[in-house]
């Protein structure tokens, strides 16, 4: 090493000042060289922007490069949790016991303790809003028995969603060998969360939420607060991944989803995402036909995977066996001895068949509408027994709604549809002796049936609120029916006008059915109260 010195002409002594400065400069150079490799190893950048309505790509950069997703992984964990609730694997109120493994996960975490029991809904909230690693692991262990088994389910679901370049190794997203995804795949997953489970999507826009043991803030609250229209979805950070974010924003009829991998900081990442969202809104058409992504096949409890080969490979070979409890054939019970095996039609049907054809034109507009309703029912399959009675009930109920129709008009309404259904699907019906005697009488007294009940004791219902307009009430009924298919499927949606406004009701339920539906809706913070026969 050459040392720079200077001779003092007066004294002949070496000057130490220049030597010290030279040594300091050399040490500084070594430090700068040591930092250079760290800068070069910064997380790679990738981005993707789509129009969520159509899935059209508006911008992409390195979108298919496999990178570390960090906590964006929890989007898949939550997707499977929503799927499990919808398919009856678990309920939101199920108490989950926290394992030692889940409790030991590093931050970010909710602070769960080993052996603690907590409702499944709070694990979902903590994973979605707080990005809690302990909650994510608990979700996976609860649904699949172990973190490894849940990772296999995550990979099956990713494949079904079309995420072809994604491999999951855990439920939380902490860096693991082979745990990789792409900006394109994570954008695809964000779009599926939005359209496949809209009833849960509001979780991602909450600035904070209560997670059972404490209130937790949203890791994405800065973007939610500062970007107009932003309503989700998920952040992620590890040293290997950098600062990641899948964001969604809606303005008017337009909705954009933007994904960023490899941000340098929260601030710079949010600024880049805002820039990409702006780009998306500029490029997206103001109007576009909604093309929802196809929901994938259920990958839950009904799927058994027999692994073959090394399970650590990115795509382990295996055989998938789908187990279905669906009944392929339905055996018709034999008729009782002495019975013709055919349904006996009620007096209204007999009266309708005896009505002269000339009377059928009494009210042509009413007739056409009611016949269409009856035919819509009969077109789905063979009208037999109860199905035929339901068709008659529909026609009679609609005729009842008109201002005091004459008995002949009601009969004329039912007659053509019944004749068509009888000709296509029913064999001749044996008439009871009482009807034969009634026909033999010179002037039979007309019998008009105003309502046929097929409720089977379903006189209860639920009320989900009072609204200022019929449109609002109908909108809430539809949204509620979609969010609670398990208990509300098959019930009748009806808006009742009162002096105070428009009541939104679901009718045609048993008392137990109505009370269970309200419990589930109340658990989702939705207004609901059972209403009885009175």
Active site residue 71: yes
Regarding the domain delimited by 46-283, which CATH topology (the fold level of the hierarchy) does it fall under?
A: Beta-lactamase (3.40.710)
Domain boundaries, the chain: 1-41, 46-283, 347-425, 460-531
pLDDT tens, position by position, 465-498: 999 899 999 999 988 888 887 788 788 899 999 9
Mean pLDDT across 381-403: 46
Q: Which of 131, 144, 248, 491 is catalytic?
A: 131
Fold of the CATH domain 460-531:
Alpha-Beta Plaits (3.30.70)
- Which is catalytic among the residues 52, 74, 130, 144? 74
Across 35-39, 306-310, 391-395, the highest mean pLDDT is recorded for 391-395
What is the band of 61 on the pLDDT scale with cuts at 50, 70, 90? very high
> Is there a catalytic annotation at residue 234?
no
Q: Each residue of 329-369: pLDDT tens digit?
A: 444 454 445 444 444 444 444 444 444 444 434 344 434 44
Q: What is the pLDDT of residue 457?
A: 65
What is the dihedral angle through the alpha carbons of 204, 206, 210, 216, rounded to the nearest 10 degrees? Answer: 80
pLDDT at 360: 39
Residue 39 pLDDT exceeds 90: no
CB burial of 376-414 (b: ≥16 within 10 Å; e: otherwise) equals ebbeeeebeeebbbebbbbbbebbeeeeebebbbbbbbb
Q: What is the pLDDT of residue 489?
A: 79
More confident site: 5 or 218: 218
Q: Using 50, 70 and 90 to split pLDDT, how confident is the model at 378?
A: very low
- The CB-side HSE value for 244 (13 A sphere, CA atoms) comes to 31
58-64: average pLDDT: 97
pLDDT at 405 > cutoff 60: no
How do residues 254-273 score in pLDDT, each as one tens digit?
A: 999 999 999 999 999 999 99
Q: Which of 52, 71, 99, 144 is catalytic?
A: 71
Q: How confident is the model at residue 22 (pLDDT cuts 50, 70, 90)?
A: low
User: Is a pLDDT exceeding 50 seen at residue 373?
Assistant: no
Residues with Cβ within 8 Å of 235's Cβ and at least 6 positions away in sequence, in order, are 71, 72, 131, 219, 220, 243, 244, 245
Find the mean pLDDT for residues 92-100: 96
């Amino acid at each position: 090493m050459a040392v720079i010195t200077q001779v003092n002409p007066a004294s002949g002594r070496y000057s130490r000042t220049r030597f010290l400065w030279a040594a300091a400069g050399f040490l500084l150079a070594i430090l700068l060289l040591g930092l250079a490799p760290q800068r070069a190893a910064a997380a790679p950048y990738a981005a993707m922007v789509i129009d969520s309505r159509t899935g059209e790509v508006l911008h992409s950069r390195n979108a298919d490069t496999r990178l570390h997703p960090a906590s964006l992984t929890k989007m898949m964990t939550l997707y499977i949790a929503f799927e499990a609730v919808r398919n009856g694997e678990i309920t939101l109120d199920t108490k989950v016991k926290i394992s030692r493994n889940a409790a030991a996960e590093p931050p970010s975490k909710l602070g769960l303790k080993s052996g603690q029991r907590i409702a499944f809904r709070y694990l979902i909230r903590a994973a979605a809003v707080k990005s809690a690693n302990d909650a994510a692991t608990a979700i996976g262990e609860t649904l699949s028995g172990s973190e490894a088994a849940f990772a296999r389910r995550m990979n099956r679901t990713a494949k079904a969603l079309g995420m072809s370049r994604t491999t999951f190794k855990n439920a939380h997203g902490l860096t693991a060998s082979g745990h990789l995804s792409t900006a394109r795949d994570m954008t695809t997953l964000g779009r599926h969360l939005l359209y496949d489970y809209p009833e849960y999507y509001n979780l991602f826009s909450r600035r904070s939420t209560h997670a059972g043991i404490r209130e937790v803030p949203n890791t994405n609250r800065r973007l939610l607060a500062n970007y107009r229209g932003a309503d989700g979805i998920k952040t992620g950070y590890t040293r290997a991944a950098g600062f990641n974010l899948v964001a969604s924003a809606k303005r008017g009829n337009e909705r954009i989803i933007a994904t960023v991998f490899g941000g340098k900081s929260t601030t710079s990442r949010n600024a880049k995402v805002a820039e990409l969202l702006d780009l998306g809104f500029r490029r997206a058409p103001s109007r576009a036909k909604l093309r929802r992504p196809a929901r994938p096949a259920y990958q839950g409890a009904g799927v058994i995977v027999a692994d073959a080969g090394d399970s650590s490979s990115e795509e382990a070979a295996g055989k998938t066996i789908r187990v279905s409890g669906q009944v392929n054939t339905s055996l018709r019970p034999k008729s009782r001895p002495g019975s013709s095996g055919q349904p006996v039609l009620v007096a209204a049907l007999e009266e309708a068949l005896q009505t002269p054809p000339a009377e059928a034109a009494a009210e042509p507009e009413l007739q056409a509408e009611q016949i269409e309703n009856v035919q819509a029912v009969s077109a789905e399959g063979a009208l037999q027994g109860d199905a035929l009675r339901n068709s008659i009930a529909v026609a009679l109920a609609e005729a009842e709604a008109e201002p005091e129709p004459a008995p002949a008009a009601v009969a004329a309404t039912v007659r053509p549809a019944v004749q068509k259904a009888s000709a296509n699907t029913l064999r001749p019906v044996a008439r009871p002796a009482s009807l034969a005697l009634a026909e033999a009488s010179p002037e039979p007294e007309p019998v008009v049936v105003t309502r046929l009940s097929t409720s089977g004791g379903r006189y209860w219902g639920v009320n989900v609120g009072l609204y200022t307009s019929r449109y609002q009430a109908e909108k809430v009924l539809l949204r509620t029916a979609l969010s609670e298919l398990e208990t509300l499927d098959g019930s009748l949606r009806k808006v009742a006008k009162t002096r105070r406004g428009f009541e939104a009701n679901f009718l045609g339920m048993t008392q137990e059915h109505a009370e269970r539906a309200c419990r589930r809706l109340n658990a989702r913070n939705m207004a609901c109260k059972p209403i009885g026969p009175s």
